[in-house]
Structure 1
């Protein structure tokens, strides 16, 4: 009977490969259908030719890139330890799946424009399935890569001990050390006429930033409230993985608006949406995540959303623009401006 670890590995690999291959096949099929409609004939040679090319592309990329890298990652543990700060699996998905999928999504609109002869007779909105399928597949692979280090059965012990207070071991003295210190103090006679001044140590020379008193959070130790207040990091991975890409999902929704995809605005929307996806290549705890989040998503989206609102009206929510502006300004202020002398003085906020 197969072990639980083997079953977990097989399920994860099957889901990852499905998320790697299915979006390209679906979007290429839509491109083939749109191109076949421009031929105005019953012959489906061009349709099956494009579909066969998409199958050949997925098969070749899987055999030449996906499978060899996956085997190396599972067999060569030394190689895995040397990879720091980025994830090869996510890079393969972004480059080999997301990039061609976004490219052929734009190509579908161009083919429809050439077929109709005018952008005015195009449908009001583009189908949401291709874009949602691509982003959902990317998020699923991200979740699987984060879940690999956690067991799928049992409870996390870290959640049970999260209310246990932690102490600094350097501040705790044993009974023996305290006795030796008292004996040393008793052996030294007091010197008259000499005032001893406390010598500032390295710990006291660098004063820590005082902590502000925030609102007290409740802690439930028993009863039904304890059951309701329990949380698990494995469940939170699903939540934060989807919330992380809500801004990109909203931007791709704007790309399906008729005023966007019927005009040239569809190109910058798709380009900057793909650029924002590049952040997923980094590991979740990479120190560059915050900076790249501003550089690749919030800062470009400010200019894209502001330009769309000025030219086409509020087809993109103003809330999204406010989010990008506030996130960018807060990062610049708290990460860089507070280091200047003018903003470096710590002050307690009044309640």
Structure 2
């Protein structure tokens, strides 16, 4: 069992280190070729940019990544916190330099008066894909990859009242006199027992880790589900909006304009949500403040300036998420919305 855990840990660490190094090195090499072409096939500029990227990755790995990983893995029983330092370090060491290289590539071509490479789908396909891999590793760390597991592996915490101090209650028959004014007595509890108390603590998840809602007949296998597979779906959906905005930055009309700055800056700010714990207490507010509302304003401006460079579905999604968040979180607390009605 120890060897299996060691192999799992080694695979996770190698995958995360690859996610840290590959995007920066790939984009830096593409940027080095661009510099070489702009300067008339200058090999010195090419190798200087490549060497700088290798030195940067090596320095970050030795000075920041390895000490951080050693400190985190040294804890035998890490406590579930509200933020993830590994993802924050990854965003600052990999995602931020990657977007900076893309902006630098745009400005080099604009200043030189040439249009040689707009990086096409490279930012969205490479940077976001490795970002998803790093996020998946952090979400799958508590899980077992073989066999079934209990509910505590994923560590999901859903808010809601939980009944505690449950005790058996003796049944008492109350005669129905038909008089509505007749008081009803509460059932008496045995000596030394207390009634169930609804506590506001965070309880276990409302759904099992791996469930099988059996159906009669041959369709019973269709009711099986596992939360580990849902982690993959949830992670890709988490990054879908950011990936679409990064793809817009690769459009030639946007890439060679000043709009490349706010688009990529907002894309990086939205990725900072990954530093928070998934489904944490601040995830909803961070999603609206760092992603949906800024993306809505940016996409409306892009549609007005460049035309249909992004599907209308995404600004509609940002608008609906922002409006529903403010309505159900703040407006429903007002007196006018607290009245009991059919709605």
Structure 1 length-normalised TM: 0.79
Partner SS, residue 225 of structure 2: coil
Aligned match for 1:86, one of 80, 83, 107: 83
Deviation readout 1:291-310 (Å, 9 max, x if unpaired) = 00000000101110111111
**Unaligned 5+ runs, structure 1:** 160-166, 186-194, 207-217
Provide, for residues 205-249 of structure 1, a one-character-per-residue CA deviation record: whole Å limited to 9, x for no partner: x9xxxxxxxxxxx95334442212311111111111001111111
- Pair 168,71 (structure 1): closer, same or farther in 2 beyond 3 Å: closer
> Map of 1:139-150 to 2, 5 A cutoff?
139-150=132-143
Q: What's the counterpart of residue 62 of structure 1?
A: 61
- For residues 314 and 199 of structure 1, do their structure 2 counterparts lie closer, same or farther at Cα, with a shift above 3 Å needed? farther
Deviation digits for residues 104-159 of structure 1, max 9, x if unmatched? 011112222334x25xx556x53212332111111111111111111100024559
Taking only aligned residues, the RMSD between alpha carbons, in angstroms, comes to 2.9
Report whether the alignment pairs 1:108 with 2:105.
yes
Name the residue aligned to 2:322: 328
How far, CA to CA, are the matches of 2:276 and 2:76 in structure 1?
19
Residue 243 of structure 2 is aligned with which of 244, 249, 255? 249
For 1:307, the equivalent position in structure 2 comes to: 301
Q: Which residue of 2 aligns with 1:189?
A: none
**Shift, 1:52, TM fit:** 0.8
Q: Which residue of 1 aligns with 2:94?
A: 97
Distance verdict in 2 for CA 1:154–1:248, change over 3 Å: same
Which secondary structure state, in structure 1, belongs to the residue aligned with residue 120 of structure 2? coil
Structure with more helix by fraction: 1
Aligned twin of 2:209: none
SS at match of 1:311: helix
Report the number of matched residues: 306
Instruction: Extract structure 1 runs of 4+ deviating beyond 6 A.
Output: none
Select between 337-346 and 247-256 the one with higher mean Cα deviation: 337-346
Larger radius of gyration: 1
Q: Give the alignment of 1:17-96 within 5 angstroms.
A: 17-41=17-41, 43-77=42-76, 80-81=78-79, 84-96=81-93
For the residues of structure 1 that align with 2:340 and 2:234, how far apart are their CA atoms?
32
Scaled by the length of structure 2, the TM-score of the pair is 0.81
Superposed, which structure 2 residues align to 1:1-351 within 5 Å?
Answer: 3-41=3-41, 43-77=42-76, 80-81=78-79, 84-115=81-112, 117-118=113-114, 121=115, 126-157=119-150, 168=163, 173-174=168-169, 197=183, 220-348=214-342
1-structure distance, mates of 2:39, 2:125: 28
- Alpha-carbon separation, structure 2, partners of 1:223 and 1:149: 35
Q: For 1:348 and 1:59, how far apart are their aligned partners in 2?
A: 63
What SS does structure 1 have at the residue aligned with 2:258? coil
Asked if structure 2 preserves the Cα contact closer than 8 Å seen for 1:32 and 1:51, the reply is yes
Q: Name the counterpart of 1:209.
A: none
- Higher RCO, Cα 8 Å, sep 6+: 1
* Contact 1:30/1:108, CA 8 A, preserved across alignment: no
